[in-house]
Structure 1
């Protein structure tokens, strides 16, 4: 749900995974208040919760030691490097206390009081309970120490001035643990806790404003993930790519297996499912689905107004070429009328994600292809080949225009300029 993403983060706004303190504070206090590391049940629970929070995704460079940090996070303001959160006492959090760790999650402050950049989603993690924070801390303290120095951030002026974060926090941060809604079920409240807290789904699925924050009034209504140029769709209704007419089972399948009868996850969200959701208990994933299904619908998520004469003419120009390409390259998997071949090849006809106002995702899928994640429930996923090398910008624009307007779909035509702008976009 995040954003899918997963690697995008704005220095003064949104992100998908934690960016803790860059260095350990001098004169570190004793870790005597930490939970007992020998408590196997507590550590196991902490590992589960760390999976729910997707800590590994950002704090581990692929093929490098777990939680050693150093993963670059490109933002519009420069590059952040995720810190070491292993048990190493010099460079990691081995000398921290459980109370200091909780303050970091709850208040967005390092152990020495340094304000954290909100690429670490403390605006969501503030809702994590102290008991869950202590469990995560116990787990991280049990992991092997990675003796690797933290790399300093490379941010442009004035974004490298942490004092500016005081203004951001005033506008966009309200600390406070999750409070259950007594009018809702236990299952709904569990889902709300996971989505709003550890899952930090709003960080990608809520549009980022000019100040790098997101508005509570636009929660879950979708938004473009900065730098990555993937669109995290609305989750609020069936008007866009939301979940209003999805069944609970289809949502559970999508999050747990990466594929369902309604489609598959690709791009950043595939990594979220791979690193996080597939490891959650089905009861927790179902609770997430129940909560998401309850989100209120919005009326302005898809523009169904009559197309302008330019759009009509552009669609008419590109559609014949698009149909020809579709029949030759796409119909074998997605079927001649776009009905797909479930569950591995999703339908394109009446597929909300194809028809969104933003055409970024279907363009990127045609250009870059991709696989659904390999999960315990779907260990050998089918994939889509990339067509960036074999199709020109006009041909990609034509086939995407065709699938957005054929079979009763109500998307708008795609321009050659839009395709060209996304050719060089990062894959994740």
Structure 2
């Protein structure tokens, strides 16, 4: 009898909990509207919205390479399964054509769509919640003046119970701190502008911050490094592995141009980011650089000295010397195999003195070779850097078809031993093999920020 009472009490408590959870997390539907006339939007607001969409890199996730812009359907792999991006064109049937500005703002602020469905945080509303009403209005104007495309996204493929959307509300209760952004009065206007862009629409932490087992950013380790589309997003705080420390000027140059002479060229998802930032005003780029530089913090005297020594070493290095096919100077020992591959395949560009972005970065300066995880240098060697569409850009050939796994391992071990003071990578053989087999999904993008060039956009899955 006592057991029955206990079970009854537990059942009542469970019902009360469920009722309270529903009451806290239920979202009502927002009334549909007729699609607004594109001519009803202020052209200046549309122009501003285009720049804001570039900061958010919206086209990267909401466009299938080779498909229509913003029509959704791009597969986004996560540790919990695959999520497909939604159609954000003003199509009334499959897009957001019948969304009011209120519905759009709620999706950005609360992660809930027009009909009250909770959105998965692969759409980084935990960052977009910081966006101001005025900027949401401009973004809305921009998207509502795009070409409508009728295209329904495939169904998400997520593990149970995460495929039950109402449970996302529990994630929101735990991890979503709603905005908008509150300026820090102790900081400058430029710093606050940079923080607003980087933490909000730019959602830099979505890639550059590690995540907990539930997929939320570990804010205590903000900008401590993360992963995106098969690439490592390096730490951009005090733990940055860059051989020469970043500062405000180098960050601003890199974000504006997609490369820096002491840090190399952007690649992977970051190539899209810098490609899109090309349309941003210089003051905004400088503001982002100011904020990120403050997160990285001041450089210690020891690191400054090391950086100066590296600059002198690279500046004094001799030009690469081509080795003829019948040269007797090639290494004969197996452990020198990597050196032979480097001299025949890499040295011509990386020691050739042709300036970036069209020449190769000296490997002494390479963050990829100095990084604790070799995934990015594996990706670059195997898949190369594709050219941008219709503009000059950095290009590197893909060596995956000409170098076997053992060759790549030997080459990377040589680079690590020769150009860094770091310990050798462990598990390199299996990581190279998994990258080639597709066990790691790697997307390779050109640096123009355009998702409509199938010849230059690919994935290895």
Q: Give the TM bin, normalised by the shorter chain.
A: 0.7 to 0.9
1:185 alignment counterpart:
188
Q: Deviations over 1:284-309 (max 9, x none)?
A: 1111111111004599xxxxxxxxxx
CA deviations over 1:169-192 (Å, ceiling 9, x no partner) = 222211111111111111111111
Alignment of 1:389-428 (within 5 A): 389-413=401-425, 415-423=428-436, 424=438, 425-428=440-443
SS in 1 for 2:77: strand
**Greater share of residues in helix:** 2
Does residue 217 (structure 1) correspond to residue 206 (structure 2)? The answer is no
1:248-275 CA-to-partner distances (Å, cap 9, x unmatched) read 332223222212212101112112222x
CA distance in 1, matches of 2:186, 2:58: 32
Shift of the alpha carbon at 1:131?
Answer: 0.7
* Contact preservation (8 Å) 2:211, 2:217: yes
Say if 2:90 and 2:149, in contact at 8 Å, map to a contact too: yes
Q: How many residues align?
A: 379
Structure 2 gaps of 5+ residues are 1-27, 300-332, 444-461
Pick from 103, 108, 115 the counterpart of residue 106 of structure 2: 103
- 1:232 and 1:119 mapped to 2: Cα distance? 16
Contact 1:102 1:133 in 2 (8 A): yes
Deviation per residue, 1:383-422 (Å, 9 max, x gap): 1212222222222111111112213442523532221122
Deviations 1:304-338 (A, max 9, x none): xxxxxxxxxxxxx97522112111111001118xx
Residue 329 (1) aligns with residue 332 (2) = no
> CA–CA distance in 2 between the matches of 1:273 and 1:233?
15
- Aligned equivalents of 1:171 and 1:332: distance in 2? 53
- Aligned equivalents of 1:35 and 1:144: distance in 2? 10
Deviations 1:221-250 (A, max 9, x none): 10233xx321110011364139x8224332
Please say if residues 385 and 394 of structure 2, whose CA atoms lie closer than 8 Å, have aligned partners that are also in contact: no
What is the TM-score normalised by the length of structure 2?
Answer: 0.76
Contact kept? 1:367, 1:386, Cα under 8 Å: yes
Matched residue of 2:227: which SS? strand
Taking the aligned partners of 2:106 and 2:128, their CA distance within structure 1 comes to: 10
Q: Which moved more, 1:359-368 or 1:346-355?
A: 346-355
Stretch deviating more after TM superposition (244-253 or 385-394): 244-253
Match of 1:305 in 2: none
Tell me what 1:386 maps to. Answer: 398
Structure 1 stretch 289-298 or stretch 107-116: which is displaced more?
289-298
8 Å contact from structure 1 (residues 403, 409) kept in 2 = no
Taking structure 1 as reference, are residues 28 and 170 closer, same or farther at Cα in structure 2, changes over 3 Å only? closer
94-103 or 317-326, which deviates more:
317-326
**Matched residue SS, 2:419:** coil
Counterpart residue number, 1:309: none
- 2:362 corresponds in structure 1 to 347
Residue 370 of structure 1: CA displacement? Answer: 1.4
What is the match of residue 365 of structure 1?
380
Partner of 2:363, secondary structure, is coil
Where in structure 1 do 4 or more consecutive aligned residues deviate above 4 Å?
31-36, 296-299, 372-375
In structure 1, the partner of 2:448 is none
Post-superposition offset of 1:145:
1.7
Listed one character per residue, the Cα deviations across residues 102-126 of structure 1 (whole Å, up to 9, x for unaligned) are 1110011112221110000000000
Q: 1:326 to 1:427 in 2, by over 3 A?
A: same
Query: In structure 2, what is the Cα distance between the partners aligned to 1:390 and 1:163?
Result: 49
TM-fit CA distance, 1:372: 6.7
- Asked if the contact 1:34/1:97 (under 8 Å) is kept, the reply is no
Counterpart of 2:315? none
Choose 68-77 or 290-299, whichever is displaced more. Answer: 290-299
1:312 maps to what in 2?
none
- Say which of 26, 50, 69 aligns to 1:66: 69
Instruction: Please report how far the alpha carbon of residue 353 of structure 1 lies from its aligned counterpart in structure 2 after TM superposition.
Output: 3.0
More contact order relative to length (CA 8 Å, sep ≥ 6): 1
SS in 1 for 2:107: helix
Q: Does the 8 Å CA contact 2:81/2:159 hold for their aligned counterparts?
A: yes
